[in-house]
Structure 1
Amino acid sequence: MNKWLTIVLCIGLPLAVGGVSAYVTVQNIQNWYPGLAKPFFNPPNTVFGPVWTALYILMGVSFYLLLREPSSEKKKQAILLFFIQLVLNFWWSILFFRFHWIGIAFIDIVLLWLFIILMIRQFYRVSGKAANLQWPYLAWVSFANVLNAAIWYLNH
């Protein structure tokens, strides 16, 4: 496949996942979320879009770097972990914003955090560059874990 088409598809995939989950939840973000009690460290809503966009782009570049590596069992496992974390990422927004299941969303984001760690570890076995691009994602999801837990506590 053409190199540039592969790059576009690799970056487009996580951006599409984020875009669909944002589209499905945007009304609740505007109407329901502002009414929740939030901790003092909750960032303004304007921070989330740019941060997630940057993270989805990094995720896509990382995935592209992984796909460029020779076929191997380690690479197949890394791809599987990439898709598992992407599914967990997608469902977090739906669970939290669409269904208002803050506690279930917390379970999802903890699983997401664990699968990001597993993904990074497996990416390292295939491509250190691809793995290193995932550190900002892990850092942000670590923060999001704490934020989700605090919102659940404050509104439970």
Structure 2
Amino acid sequence: MMNVLASKAQLRASFLRWALFLVPLVMLIGFTAGQLGSPLTPWFAGLVKPAIFPPPVVFGIVWTALFVLIGLSLALVASAWGAAGRGLALGAFAVQFMVSQSWSAVFFGMQDMWSGLYIIIAAAVLMVPALVLVWRVRRAAGLLLLPYFGWLCFAGVLNYAFIQENPEGGARGDSGAETRVQI
């Protein structure tokens, strides 16, 4: 009778295969979500930026690093064949991630800061059980998700700061792609 399911080399190879699939997938989802709403609009340019708003270049660097960490975390969980709660952890994280990735389309695309705030709060709240479930499968995977959770919390504070600085919501509909005709 066999008492070892897989050798260490097989486990490393499984992790590597999952990482080579999941890191690019997470980055593709994030990049695609970012295309559904962009800060490169006259509406966003016209908003008063809160004091805690980082230089714009920071967002690309941070999100790229976070997407890599997320992909590696998910690869650790996905390669944990037979681990109790593996499927539930991956499913809970997938739901949370899709909610969080809808933020750009709502905040930038729809130019709706309040709905964006609700989405980022929902994403942070959903992250708590997802993080617990991932942690139970692989502690290291949970640790890799902590920076993402921290960034979600910061994004919520930043979203709220935008609302405070721009209580009227900015010049909505000012995408530059429409023509207004007054009769």
Percentage identity across paired residues of the two chains: 28
Q: Does 1:76 align with 2:87?
A: yes
Per-residue CA deviation, residues 78-121 of structure 1 (Å, 9 max, x unaligned), is 01111111111210011000001110010000010011121111
Aligned to 2:130: 119
Structure 1 residues 128 and 4: alpha-carbon distance in aligned structure 2, compared to 1, 3 A threshold: closer
Q: Name the amino acid aligned to 2:90.
A: I
**1:73 Cα shift?**
5.1
Match of 2:33 in 1: 21
Which position in structure 2 is the counterpart of 1:153?
Answer: 164
- Structure 1 regions of 5+ residues with no counterpart? none
Return the alpha-carbon distance in structure 1 between the equivalents of residues 119 and 86 of structure 2: 25
What residue is the counterpart of 2:18 in the other structure?
6
**Deviation, structure 1 residue 70:** 2.6
Q: Which runs of 5+ in 2 are unaligned?
A: 1-12, 168-183
Q: Name which of 62, 77, 92 aligns with 1:66.
A: 77
Cα contact 2:84–2:137 (8 A) shared by 1:
no
Alignment RMSD (CA, Å): 1.7
Letter in 1 for 2:20: V
How many pairs were matched up? 155
Query: Greater helix percent: which structure?
Result: 1
Structure possessing the higher radius of gyration over alpha carbons: 2
- Residue 35 of structure 2 aligns to a residue whose secondary structure is helix
Q: TM-score, normalised by structure 2?
A: 0.79
